Structure 1
Amino acid sequence: MIAVEQWTGEEALLLRSVMRASVRGFADHLGISPRTVSHWQRNRSSVCRPQMAQILDTALHQCTPEEQEAFRLRLAALHGTAVAAAGVDAPQATPCSVVSHKFLPAYVGERIAPLYAVGTPAPCGPGGLERRTLPVGHRSAQSSAVHVYGCGVAVVHLEEHHRVESLTDLAVWRYRTYLREPNWAGKQLTQLIKLHGTEEAAAHEVPAPQYVLSVYELRENSWAGAGLDTALQLLATPSVLVNRQDPENVVSLGPGVEAAKFREGWSHAEAVPFGGGVSQGVAGWSGVSYHPQPDERALTTSQIVALELDVQALWALSSHILHTVEDGQDPVMPPEYGWRFLRSAYYRLTTARPTETAQHRVMREAILTTSELPDRLRAAQDALRDSTS
């Protein structure tokens, strides 16, 4: 029997993580208010009252054996206590196959118009944003395209398939390609504008995207239970596997580091798990990992991609608006993309739909929580409203 000497917000959130529950789902399971779970997120060191500790003890003892084992290993790692897996071999680093999706968003502004005019119409995503696509050529991607939004944003999407010997190898590849992909994407957008736009529009190069967001679908692998949980955590937050002191030469911290992460059942404190029985995933600030079970009820990766396209487009747009305000200027957008446009996107993204499954809902909530997009959308909306008042 697992015993928690003192329940704090940290241990409570650890329990939520191994149960792969959303904030609302965890609160409903415990019979408490979602505000209490949010309080734990803000105050991880806060000590739970005796009655709440009893509720958490009961919830832990009702977990599956696999969930209890994952909690035991992660609790030991949290407190720096060495512990071996109970009665089973500890999960190990092993080869696996993954599909990498990279998103490189850039605010282009009015110069996006000729690309939007020639692009192929695509279905609207969860944010209700109309978009069009154009193909681009990439040296190693199985699929590469530019998604163009009328609000002035372009999102380059690259899909690449990999078979790797370890998650560390994938992490090194990820950070090394991040050095060149943004500049490549900026040049591709500049060339497309020169090809389809006016001379005036093509006179200036498009700035390179400021960051890359990745989504990884874990395919062939030999992990299960706590091992699969750790693998998804490392896929979503791979920075713990590499040395990034020299951005031009990111290297592995060594095979022993990944092995130790699997032994301790490592998880990132700010990563948010999501799933629904037939799928598992983790959303982090810099990436999302996902493993669907072979079941037709599982989420599809295309649903995650559709959400991320809209999330990244709105992130780039809101960042442009907020940076304009920071520079001491009033943000100006065409009327059709003013504060009402942002308000509509905000409610579409944050409001549950009658047709969406529980898996889809917790995935959407996890991605929005870790991206902090809702807060940025509200701030950008207020800035545009103030500039027109």
Structure 2
Amino acid sequence: MIAVDQWTGGEALLLLRAKRGTVRGFANELGINARTVSRWRKAPTAVCLPATAQILDIALRQCTAEERELFGLLLANHRGEPVPTSSEEASGPQPCTVISHKFLPVYLGQRSTSLFDAGKPEVVGPGGLERRTLVLDSHAARSSTMHVYACGVAVVHVEEPLRFDTLTELAVWRYRTYRKEPLWAGRQIDHQLEQLTADEGPVAPALQYVLSAYELRDTSWTGPGLDTGLHLLTTPSVLVNRQDPENVVPLGRGVEDAKFRDHWTHPEAVTFGGGVSRGVAGWSGVAYHPQADERALTMDQIVDLELDVQALWALSSHVLHMIEDGQDPVMPPEHGWRFLRGSHTRLTNARATETAQHRAMREAILLTSELPDRLRAAQNALRESNQ
């Protein structure tokens, strides 16, 4: 039986990771305030109070065998001790199949009106944003679409199935395509605008970034190996050398092997899911593996959320960039601070029909994207300028 002599904030967070729960769910299970978990993140070396340590001891004893095994592996890695291995665990670099989703947002303002009018109406997403869709047919992927929002934002979504022998290969592919996709998406927006408005020349601003989400399908990873695989999918930068953006290359042979051997996980990533799925959300992307398709979240639910999240990120960034440039932020009245406040409320508040899996996914993506804070900042700026 694994035992902890002295619980610190860092070790308590390892238990949270082993249980693959949310901060709120973990706090409720322990009967403590969620702010306590937040304090653990800020002070991971602080020793827990005796009463809290006793609660954590009980929670550890009540873990499933799989959760205790994972906690033991994480704890050993945390302490720098030899990590026990299991002959039954599939770990290390393995071939895998993923469905890649890229999201490329850009704020167009009034220039988006013609695109919006030409698009096909879609069901309102989690953020309550009205959007329409145009199909883009000049990409080699399975599908490429442009989602145009009434608030003046366009999000290009590219979906394609991929098969790689290692995650390092996927990481190199990801960063090399990141150099090309914004240019391609910008040309697509320009082409659509030219067709609809008869304007010539580039009229769309440059796209600033790409966010990826991966659905992991065929894999032999299990246990901690699967966790490491998902974390590497979420944060592939640890596998490549990006000093020359024009020529991203692998860091070196054995780096990926070492990550799996050490059961590496990113300290700032947030896990979500449950017994029927596993997911990891980070600043640069999301990775998701449904283990029981009939009961797990669908990837479409993650895509719907990310579309609205990326649209609102582009919109709030536009407002904040105006302030940085020394301008008073100006938006149409229907998309002023009240609009941002409503979007913030819809995204952050749970719904009565929302499942625990969906809530955990939503909270993980919002937390790692830092969108709620950005929305509040843009909302306050517009309110001060009476927009």
TM over 0.5: yes
- Determine the structure 2 residue equivalent to 1:7: 7
Q: How does 1:341-356 map to 2 (within 5 A)?
A: 341-356=339-354
Paired letter, 1:28: N
Say whether the 8 Å CA contact 2:89–2:225 is kept in structure 1. no
Which deviates more, 295-304 or 99-108? 295-304
CA distance in 1, matches of 2:196, 2:381: 33
Shift of 1:168: 1.1
Say whether the 8 Å CA contact 2:7–2:53 is kept in structure 1. yes
- Determine the structure 2 residue equivalent to 1:320: 318
Shift of 1:269: 0.5
Q: Structure 1 367/236 Cα, relative in aligned 2: closer, same or farther at 3 Å?
A: same
Shift of 1:11: 1.6
Correspondence for 2:252 among 226, 251, 254: 254
SS in 2 for 1:24: helix
- Determine the structure 1 residue equivalent to 2:266: 268
Say whether the 8 Å CA contact 2:90–2:221 is kept in structure 1. no
CA distance in 2, matches of 1:72, 1:357: 30
Paired letter, 1:383: A
Which deviates more, 80-89 or 97-106? 80-89
Report Cα offsets for 1:8-27 as digits up to 9, x if no partner. 22221121112111111000
Report Cα offsets for 1:212-235 as digits up to 9, x if no partner. 111100001111222111111111
Say whether the 8 Å CA contact 2:90–2:222 is kept in structure 1. no
Paired letter, 2:254: G
- Determine the structure 1 residue equivalent to 2:333: 335
CA distance in 2, matches of 1:62, 1:261: 29
Say whether the 8 Å CA contact 1:315–1:373 is kept in structure 2. yes
Say whether the 8 Å CA contact 2:89–2:223 is kept in structure 1. no
Shift of 1:109: 1.1
Say whether the 8 Å CA contact 2:186–2:205 is kept in structure 1. yes
Q: How does 1:20-35 map to 2 (within 5 A)?
A: 20-35=20-35
Shift of 1:203: 5.4
Q: Structure 1 4/167 Cα, relative in aligned 2: closer, same or farther at 3 Å?
A: same
Q: Structure 1 379/107 Cα, relative in aligned 2: closer, same or farther at 3 Å?
A: same
Q: Structure 1 233/85 Cα, relative in aligned 2: closer, same or farther at 3 Å?
A: same
Aligned-residue RMSD, C-alpha: 1.6
Q: Structure 1 364/175 Cα, relative in aligned 2: closer, same or farther at 3 Å?
A: same
Q: How does 1:162-201 map to 2 (within 5 A)?
A: 162-197=162-197, 199=199
CA distance in 2, matches of 1:59, 1:138: 53
Shift of 1:5: 4.2
Report Cα offsets for 1:119-153 as digits up to 9, x if no partner. 11111100000001111134321010110011110
Structure 2 residue 181 is the aligned partner of structure 1 residue 215 = no
Say whether the 8 Å CA contact 1:106–1:153 is kept in structure 2. yes
- Determine the structure 1 residue equivalent to 2:61: 61
- Determine the structure 1 residue equivalent to 2:309: 311
Give 4+ residue runs of structure 1 displaced > 6 Å after superposition.
Answer: none
Report Cα offsets for 1:174-196 as digits up to 9, x if no partner. 11111111111112111111111
Report Cα offsets for 1:47-84 as digits up to 9, x if no partner. 21222222222222322222222222222223333323
CA distance in 1, matches of 2:246, 2:76: 35
CA distance in 1, matches of 2:292, 2:52: 38
Structure 1: where are the runs of 5+ without partners? none
CA distance in 1, matches of 2:64, 2:231: 20
CA distance in 2, matches of 1:89, 1:289: 20
Which deviates more, 182-191 or 168-177? 182-191
Report Cα offsets for 1:70-124 as digits up to 9, x if no partner. 2222222233333231565562211010000000001111111110111111111
Say whether the 8 Å CA contact 1:273–1:282 is kept in structure 2. yes
- Determine the structure 2 residue equivalent to 1:40: 40
Report Cα offsets for 1:264-288 as digits up to 9, x if no partner. 2111111000002211100000010
- Determine the structure 1 residue equivalent to 2:106: 106
Structure 2 residue 71 is the aligned partner of structure 1 residue 71 = yes
Which deviates more, 261-270 or 136-145? 136-145
Q: Structure 1 138/45 Cα, relative in aligned 2: closer, same or farther at 3 Å?
A: farther
SS in 2 for 1:246: coil
CA distance in 2, matches of 1:44, 1:274: 21
Say whether the 8 Å CA contact 2:93–2:260 is kept in structure 1. yes
Say whether the 8 Å CA contact 1:111–1:197 is kept in structure 2. no
- Determine the structure 1 residue equivalent to 2:299: 301
SS in 2 for 1:189: helix
Shift of 1:206: 1.4
SS in 1 for 2:380: helix
Which deviates more, 62-71 or 342-351? 62-71
Paired letter, 2:235: T
- Determine the structure 1 residue equivalent to 2:136: 136
Say whether the 8 Å CA contact 1:186–1:205 is kept in structure 2. no
TM-score (norm 1): 0.96
Which deviates more, 17-26 or 81-90? 81-90
SS in 2 for 1:249: coil
CA distance in 2, matches of 1:116, 1:339: 22
Tell me how many residue pairs correspond in the alignment: 387
Paired letter, 1:346: H
Paired letter, 2:242: R
